[in-house]
Structure 1
Amino acid sequence: MSLDKKEEMLQQELAAQIEQYTGTDGIWATSIPSLHFIKASQETDPIHSLYEPALCIVAQGTKLVLLGKESYVYDPSCYLVASVQLPVSGQVIQATPENPYLCMQLDFQGSQIIELIQEVDISRSVPSSKRALYVSKTNTSLLEAAVRLVKLLDTPQDIPVIAPLIIREILYRVLLGEQGHSIKQFAVTGSHADCIAQAIEMIKRDFAKPLRVETLAAAVNMSTSSLHYHFKEVTAMSPLQYQKKLRLQEARRILFSGGTEAANAGFLVGYESPSQFSREYSRMFGLPPISDIKQFRDTLRVGSN
């Protein structure tokens, strides 16, 4: 059997398994805590979210992800990895009811990568800063491990013992991939990427407070210019742009939950000027806050009819 044919069969098997454990469109949790399935039976509008460190393998369909001004397209021929928390926009661009978009998402922790690097013969040199989001060509070994992990859902009694071993193998395969250094960089203590990961955590923790880049740089033992350079290398945006995206995504979440009015939502996420909040919200989401909420509620009403 040719390599391409074997990969195709594995992708079909993975798609069948995902369909078995999903119902309507959406994100589905599984009995393996770090494993989720995503299903979409039609193309979607862009959805803004915060990617956590994760591996995404598409079994069917195609998705487009925007990070800053960069675009990443992935389908069954490749997989996507996010190494740190990244504010992105994702959009399913190929899916039908007959052939829905089907994806498995495996979340991981930095500690798992560190353990692999320490225990396995993987180069420990400090890499230069690389983008924390990348798409890489899939391979038979990775797909075989992914299928074995998903099949464990059929025998839940095996999950506690066997799932950690297969997850370890999957992460090992990704680390050995052509762009594995993009993950490894965050596991090397003192590397520029490690410092940026610390900066990201600090911004996330206090995103509603004013951000002084000089203070942030000092907190992670970097110069201001070095922080700017390496932060952009890793995230495709500046620290202030990163903070702005976090603020606006959280404001939208608050508004859609019906928790407050538009002006107050802006204040809650750190905006002092309602006009500036409305302007930046419109730039990111395409509509001012009040119009965006109305469109969201209208869509909900149509969907419930």
Structure 2
Amino acid sequence: MSKKSYKQQGELATLIEHFSKQDGVHPTTIPSLFLIRESINTEPISRVNEPSFCMILQGEKEVLLGEERFLYGPGHYIVASVDLPVTGQIIKASAESPYLAFKLEFTCSQVLEVLNETTINTFQGKNAKRAMYVSKIEPSLLDAVARLASLLDTPKHIPVLAPLLKKEILYWILQGPHGEVLEQMSLEGSNTFRIREVINHIINNYEESFRIEELAKIANMSVSSLHRHFKDVTAMSPIQFQKQLRLQEARRLLLAESTDVADVAFRVGYESQSQFSREYSRMFGFSPRVDINRMRENYV
């Protein structure tokens, strides 16, 4: 890492600490930009990860997608190009050296806008690729991130400059070694674009049963092609994807609203409470009641 890059990472870490005095995820005055700070290692947290770019300035994090493990820390970034149910855990953080990260969410239309304004080669004919990856941050990308973050100190410039710098960040990601992953999700007709439509359908109807033939029709693919490309993109089958969504939502409901396991199981689409409890225990390591009591004690 060059002296300039090392200095920029240090300045970004200082800025995050300045604008996030407490642990947690902090929205900023720049739309879709979040600053993250944690002073302790966390338990695994399951959630749907929106399309986003995340760069760590201090500490380390592990993200599980299906059975795949992504580990990253300072000098690297992670990109998710579609909505994905993941489990994340901060594995290196302390009060003296907290986990500090910068997260920027984006949309398909924003990526497409950059593609339409550049001469980046398209890869529409290639097979779908995994929608999540870790890459080493290049100086050009780090410089754009640093300039966007610095706008937090001069908020009057945000309305004009922030949209331009977001486009620059997306441009450098697209120019990077895995830019094709981001590109594919925006190009209508590509396999990833069609799988993204299936993903959106499952997310919006996760509590309902579906036939795989219905999903294949949405993607305009054969059943075998759908299975292959869906797993290429998400690292899981459509049924596994739906199951993770159901169980994540069940955990959220149990923690926030209700302790009635049978009611929650029914609300997220299960007909059998025993099946729900078995699959919940398999995913989270504890039965629903034990897990929620344990988490509540940890939050007190």
| TM-score, scaled relative to structure 1 | 0.96
Q: Unmatched 5+ residue regions in structure 2?
A: none
Q: How does 1:213-252 map to 2 (within 5 A)?
A: 213-252=212-251
Does the CA-based 8 Å contact 1:47-1:89 persist in structure 2?
yes
**Partner of residue 32, structure 2:** 34
**Partner of residue 89, structure 2:** 91
**Partner of residue 151, structure 1:** 150
**Partner of residue 259, structure 1:** 258
**Partner of residue 191, structure 1:** 190
**Partner of residue 268, structure 1:** 267
Whichever residue aligns with residue 50 of structure 1, its letter is V
Whichever residue aligns with residue 268 of structure 2, its letter is V
Q: How does 1:117-128 map to 2 (within 5 A)?
A: 117-126=115-124, 127-128=126-127
Structure 2 residue 71 is the aligned partner of structure 1 residue 73: yes
Structure 1 residues 107-149: Cα deviation after superposition (integer angstroms, max 9, x where no partner): 0000011111111010123132110000001111111111111
Residues 219 and 243 from structure 1, CA distance in 2 versus in 1: closer, same or farther, beyond 3 angstroms?
same
**Partner of residue 137, structure 2:** 138
Matches of 1:228 and 1:242 in 2, distance apart? 12
Name the count of aligned residue pairs.
Answer: 299
Q: How does 1:274-285 map to 2 (within 5 A)?
A: 274-285=273-284
Whichever residue aligns with residue 242 of structure 1, its letter is F
Whichever residue aligns with residue 49 of structure 2, its letter is Y
Matches of 1:73 and 1:297 in 2, distance apart? 28
Structure 2 residue 170 is the aligned partner of structure 1 residue 171: yes
**Partner of residue 51, structure 1:** 49
Whichever residue aligns with residue 164 of structure 2, its letter is L
Query: Moved runs in structure 1, 4+ residues, more than 4 A?
Result: none
Shift of 1:10: 1.0
Whichever residue aligns with residue 47 of structure 2, its letter is S
Structure 2 residue 254 is the aligned partner of structure 1 residue 289: no
Matches of 2:222 and 2:3 in 1, distance apart? 51
Whichever residue aligns with residue 298 of structure 1, its letter is E
Does the CA-based 8 Å contact 1:25-1:39 persist in structure 2?
yes
Does the CA-based 8 Å contact 1:128-1:185 persist in structure 2?
no
Matches of 2:218 and 2:89 in 1, distance apart? 36
Matches of 1:161 and 1:223 in 2, distance apart? 46
Shift of 1:231: 0.3
Give the secondary structure class of the aligned counterpart of 2:31: coil
Matches of 2:122 and 2:172 in 1, distance apart? 16
Matches of 1:176 and 1:268 in 2, distance apart? 43
Whichever residue aligns with residue 290 of structure 1, its letter is R
Matches of 1:69 and 1:240 in 2, distance apart? 15
Matches of 1:149 and 1:187 in 2, distance apart? 23
Q: How does 1:98-117 map to 2 (within 5 A)?
A: 98-117=96-115
Shift of 1:259: 3.0
Shift of 1:260: 4.8
Matches of 1:125 and 1:85 in 2, distance apart? 21
Give the secondary structure class of the aligned counterpart of 2:63: strand
Matches of 1:95 and 1:257 in 2, distance apart? 27
Matches of 1:254 and 1:142 in 2, distance apart? 39
Does the CA-based 8 Å contact 2:60-2:73 persist in structure 1?
yes
Structure 1 residues 171-204: Cα deviation after superposition (integer angstroms, max 9, x where no partner): 1000000000011011111111011000000001
Structure 2 residue 16 is the aligned partner of structure 1 residue 18: yes
Whichever residue aligns with residue 294 of structure 2, its letter is Q
Matches of 2:211 and 2:19 in 1, distance apart? 46
**Partner of residue 205, structure 1:** 204
Structure 1 residues 194-251: Cα deviation after superposition (integer angstroms, max 9, x where no partner): 1100000000111000021111111221111000000000000000000000000000
Does the CA-based 8 Å contact 1:62-1:95 persist in structure 2?
yes
Matches of 1:139 and 1:155 in 2, distance apart? 25
